[in-house]
Structure 1
Amino acid sequence: MTRRSATLAVAGALIVALVAVASLFHLPYVVYSPGPVEDTLGEWNGQEVIRIDGAETYPTDGVLDLTTVGVTSADADLDLLTALRAWLDPDRAVVPRELVYPEGTTAEQSRQQNAAMLANSQQNAEVAALRKLGYDIPQTVVVDAVVEDAPADGVLEPGDVVVSVDGTAIATPEDVVAAVTAHEPGETVTFVVERDGEQLTEDIQTIAAEDDGRALVGFSPTLGFDLPVDIEIGIDERIGGPSAGMIFAVAIYDTLTPGALLDGTHVAGTGEISPDGAVGAIGGIQQKIAAANHDGAELFLAPASNCDEAVGGNNGDMHVVPIETLDDAVSTIEAFVAGDTDDLPTCPAT
């Protein structure tokens, strides 16, 4: 063996050893990758994604994609080699694990949390779309879930409408939290709730929260709505989180209005939505832009509060337009379809 051959052999062996060692190092990070997209005006498992009963619907024409982000699972470790490959890929990002998964979060807990946030986003989208269409949708505060063995367990039930706390009328879930935490642990809180058409008065003694010692009774409140139209949204069960809310709302609005809003255009987007139609920030904006671009979208609707983060997103020739409300989303699509793009704002993306 020549000296050159021996040197190359040693170098090769060292590289193999370094790769093997690197694969053993687990880093406290996760990788964001462009995830799959889904056409909310199309079908999933042989059924329309948006199914509506109780109101007249109209044909749509075009593709309206919700976008997703692939994230390292909560029960998977990120090795050095995978992290390095992600750092070198402009469509992926490496972020600290604690920003995505609080310490101790299991994969099942993460799945349940994402499923709950998805369900909430779908409800918000339904309310926002119907309100834009002129429906009067009053809201209540309801018991979402009761913690097992907590003081509220066996007293309150999921679905109970919270009318008042300590004699004060309740309008938002935050009102409930404020009223309960105004007490010291051990004190009693008086709830008036409506269940099956009857009002009940319940006195519940508070206990101290383990993390910060605040008073609690052990249930989570959420907004509730009595919708005059029955809307079902069926998508891939692997999709979770709140970020598809805005796109759901646009899809519902398009389905319930005469004429095809997209008129054959391919639109994608992301954004959390509130019941009043405000669009909020989400995570992984660059990866979602890349996913939409790879799928051939012509227009991407991005939350205005994410616009700065869109810098560096792989948008190609796709227009990335910031929006703040559902009204903005609809008017942006209308302008884009009509070819009136000169006055549309854009997010800086290279």
Structure 2
Amino acid sequence: MTTRPSPDPSPRPRLLARPRALALGAVPAVALLAVAAFAPLPYSVARPGQTTDVLGVYRGTEVISVSGAPVRRTSGQLRMAAIRATGPHVGASLSELADGWFRTDRAVMPREAVFPSGKSDEAVARHNTTEMKSSQRAATSAALRLLKQDPRRVRVRLTLDDVGGPSAGLMFSLGIVDKLAGDGSGGDLTGGRTIAGTGTIDADGTVGPVGGAALKTRAAERDGASVFLVPKAECAQLQPAPDGLRLVPVTTLRDAVHALRALAGGGRVPSC
């Protein structure tokens, strides 16, 4: 009796071998996409930060205090605007970058454009504090020079230590001018308005560009400002402006003072 050989069981596994291999080969690609979606990347996501009235009190202390000269009582506000960004050693994930890319209240920037590269978090904080202190000294010099005040007699103290960087320089200078001289005719430099702005300043009064100006306009509009002072070089980046916010370009402290005086008096004011 001849026994019939049992059917070879191998064909079925061979038929399954290719799809299985394809499926197994897809696993690394899916894993890579999953890792990319959640792995930290060398970018920072910035958003509108705080605004602070330099004519007011911050954490129980006057932001601008002056000795050696009469100080005016002021109305209105001069608000410096800041941004918030993910930290120098906190990478953003692919999903966060994608979300930030399509939102008008977010900005995706290379980390090196926001923070000094190769520094620890503590070193970055010290760097930002140093820049802020230098900006405060320049702001004081520019304001006193504009008002022809003797810096040996008039002493200005600026207190806003937990906001780093140099971008509050213009608003510090304007705050000093308003406290000492107002609009020059007995009124307030603000005209009673809430004015916001950004810009570095040199001791000679030159206003320089800063990063994140578009996000700062969002913070200004959120906190009730009707006017935003911006370095002229950055006007093109801020169009369209948030609803109800007037953009006023400046290149010097003198420009900014003249613009605010014109606003208060109903005169012509440049716009972006």
TM-score w.r.t. length of structure 2: 0.82
Aligned AA (2:108): V
Shift of residue 99 of structure 1? Answer: 2.1
1:255 aligned to 2:179?
A: yes
Distance 1:61 1:277 in 2: 24
1:282 alignment partner in structure 2 = 210
1:234 alignment partner in structure 2 = 159
Give the one of 107, 112, 117 matched to 2:126: 112
Give the one of 60, 65, 73 matched to 1:51: 65
Give secondary structure in 2 for the equivalent of 1:85: helix
1:345 aligned to 2:264?
A: no
1:194 alignment partner in structure 2 = none
Give the one of 38, 44, 50 matched to 2:52: 38
Judge conservation of contact 2:48–2:82 (CA < 8 Å) in 1. Answer: yes
In structure 2, stretches of 5+ residues that fail to align are 1-30
1:100 aligned to 2:100?
A: no
Shift of residue 136 of structure 1? Answer: 5.1
Q: 1:57 to 1:103 in 2, by over 3 A?
A: closer
Distance 1:234 1:19 in 2: 47
Give the one of 138, 160, 167 matched to 1:243: 167
Shift of residue 247 of structure 1? Answer: 0.3
Q: Residues 202-221 of structure 1 correspond to what in structure 2 (within 5 A)? A: none
2:15 alignment partner in structure 1 = none
1:321 alignment partner in structure 2 = 248
Distance 2:77 2:116 in 1: 36
Distance 1:85 1:67 in 2: 23
Judge conservation of contact 2:116–2:124 (CA < 8 Å) in 1. Answer: no
Shift of residue 298 of structure 1? Answer: 0.7
Judge conservation of contact 2:191–2:263 (CA < 8 Å) in 1. Answer: no
1:330 alignment partner in structure 2 = 257
Distance 2:115 2:203 in 1: 27
Shift of residue 60 of structure 1? Answer: 0.6
Judge conservation of contact 2:53–2:77 (CA < 8 Å) in 1. Answer: yes
Deviations 1:244-288 (A, max 9, x none): 000000000000014322131110000000111110111111011
Distance 1:297 1:91 in 2: 17
Q: Residues 118-157 of structure 1 correspond to what in structure 2 (within 5 A)? A: 118-135=132-149
Judge conservation of contact 2:54–2:77 (CA < 8 Å) in 1. Answer: yes
Deviations 1:74-97 (A, max 9, x none): 121111121122112111110112
Aligned AA (2:201): I
Distance 1:336 1:92 in 2: 31
CA RMSD of aligned residues (A): 2.0
More helix by share: 2
Q: Residues 161-172 of structure 1 correspond to what in structure 2 (within 5 A)? A: none
Rg comparison, structure with higher value: 2
Aligned AA (2:200): E
More strand by share: 1
Judge conservation of contact 2:209–2:233 (CA < 8 Å) in 1. Answer: yes
Deviations 1:213-245 (A, max 9, x none): xxxxxxxxxxxxxx421111112x320100000
Distance 1:48 1:256 in 2: 15
Distance 1:336 1:315 in 2: 19
Shift of residue 31 of structure 1? Answer: 1.2
Aligned AA (1:242): P
Judge conservation of contact 2:178–2:189 (CA < 8 Å) in 1. Answer: yes
Distance 1:20 1:303 in 2: 42
TM-score w.r.t. length of structure 1: 0.65
Judge conservation of contact 1:59–1:259 (CA < 8 Å) in 2. Answer: no
